[in-house]
């Protein structure tokens, strides 16, 4: 996002816990400040002036772990960013995980979340962050809010989805609960960048007047067959595998045991109920708001250049 905005002439300030690799040679200044969201809002003397918009991507994305730790980052961290820049337009990168994990998501609309019955701290705290922003958007002294819900972000720079996929492969096999024979929407990082860019300038007056955020699902143009796409991706990474199915009952039993072990060890479980809910069920999303309100015509899912991701 920083690279895209800088290339388009915007002045960008990046905040993170670690110093990132910033774009070089951009036409406007790109600067960086260290900020750990767990420390709360920035002190007034550390806040940059004249911020027009904020893109909030920071989150604890671990599958499992402490609910309190996820709450501090995903909910209180969101509150900290909003309190630091209360008058700026606030673009919040949420997640498709805010939909009900217990049932398939079949062309779900934005009104069907936040839901209930979340099976890990990530889903429940991302939903809580949305609820906070919905309440906060009703305040007259606040900037407008746009909430984006991407599902399964992939592509260059992926530090989450691809590493987990490759670590799950066992030799020439890739075990997937249910065999991955489901339809899924994926989200190329370029699609997400387009959505964020559009959210920064979109007309949000109807929602702002009603005291609520504009919410949009974000995904590639069409769903894909998950097992075929996973095999193609691994092949493109020069690691050909065959997706093999794990019976759902066995997968759930293994997940139950793994989650309890992770509570003692503090390590992320290799298999969890959250993973099963996102691999063994359909996850497709209605993209009407993305197309008609944000004006984004997403490209189809593409694995071009996957070797260098």
- Cα dihedral value 188, 151, 120, 60, nearest 10: 40
d(CA 177, CA 271): 9
User: Which token pair is 285?
Assistant: 């999303």
pLDDT tens readout for residues 21-65: 766 555 567 899 999 999 999 999 999 989 999 999 999 988 777
Residue among 96, 100, 154, 115 at smallest CA distance from 284:
96
What's the pTM value of the predicted model, to 2 decimals? 0.94
pLDDT tens readout for residues 62-116: 877 788 999 999 999 999 999 999 999 999 999 999 999 999 999 999 999 999 8
What is the full DSSP assignment across 243-273?
EEEE-HHHHHHHHHHHHHHHHHH-PPPSS-H
d(CA 261, CA 257): 6
For residue 12, what are the CA distances in angstroms to 23, 80, 281?
A: 11, 19, 39
Helix (H) or strand (E) holding 145: strand 145-150
pLDDT at residue 28, rounded to an integer: 60
pLDDT at residue 157, rounded to an integer: 87
Cα 107 to its chain centre, rounded Å, is 18
Q: 165 pairs with which residues across the strands?
A: none
pLDDT tens readout for residues 153-186: 999 988 888 888 898 899 999 999 999 999 999 9
pLDDT at residue 23, rounded to an integer: 60
């Amino acid at each position: 996002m920083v690279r895209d905005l800088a290339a388009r002439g915007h002045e960008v300030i990046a905040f993170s816990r670690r110093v990132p690799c910033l774009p070089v040679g951009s036409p406007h200044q790109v600067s960086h400040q260290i900020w750990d969201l767990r420390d709360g809002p920035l002190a007034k003397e550390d806040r940059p002036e004249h911020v027009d918009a904020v893109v909030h991507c920071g989150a604890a994305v671990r599958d499992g772990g402490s609910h309190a730790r996820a709450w501090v980052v995903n909910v209180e961290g969101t509150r900290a960013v909003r309190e630091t820049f209360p008058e700026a337009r606030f673009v919040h990168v949420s997640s498709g995980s805010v939909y009900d994990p217990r049932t398939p998501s079949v062309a779900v609309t934005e009104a069907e979340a936040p839901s209930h019955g979340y099976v890990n701290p990530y889903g429940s705290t991302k939903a809580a962050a949305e609820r906070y922003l919905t309440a906060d958007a009703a305040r007259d002294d606040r900037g407008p809010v746009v909430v984006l819900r991407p599902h399964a972000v992939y592509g260059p720079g992926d530090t989450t989805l691809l590493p987990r996929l490759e670590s799950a492969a066992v030799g020439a096999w890739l075990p997937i609960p249910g065999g991955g024979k489901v339809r899924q929407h994926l989200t190329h990082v370029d699609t997400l960048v387009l959505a964020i860019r559009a959210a920064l300038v979109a007309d949000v007056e109807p929602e702002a007047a009603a005291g609520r955020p504009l919410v949009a699902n974000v995904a590639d143009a069409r769903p894909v067959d998950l097992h075929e796409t996973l095999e193609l991706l691994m092949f493109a990474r020069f690691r050909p595998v065959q997706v093999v199915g794990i019976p759902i009952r066995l997968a759930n039993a293994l997940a139950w045991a793994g989650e309890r072990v992770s509570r003692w060890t503090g390590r992320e479980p290799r298999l969890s109920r959250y993973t099963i809910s996102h691999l063994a069920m359909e996850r497709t999303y209605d993209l009407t708001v993305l197309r008609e309100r944000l004006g984004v015509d997403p490209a189809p899912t593409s694995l071009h250049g996957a070797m260098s991701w």
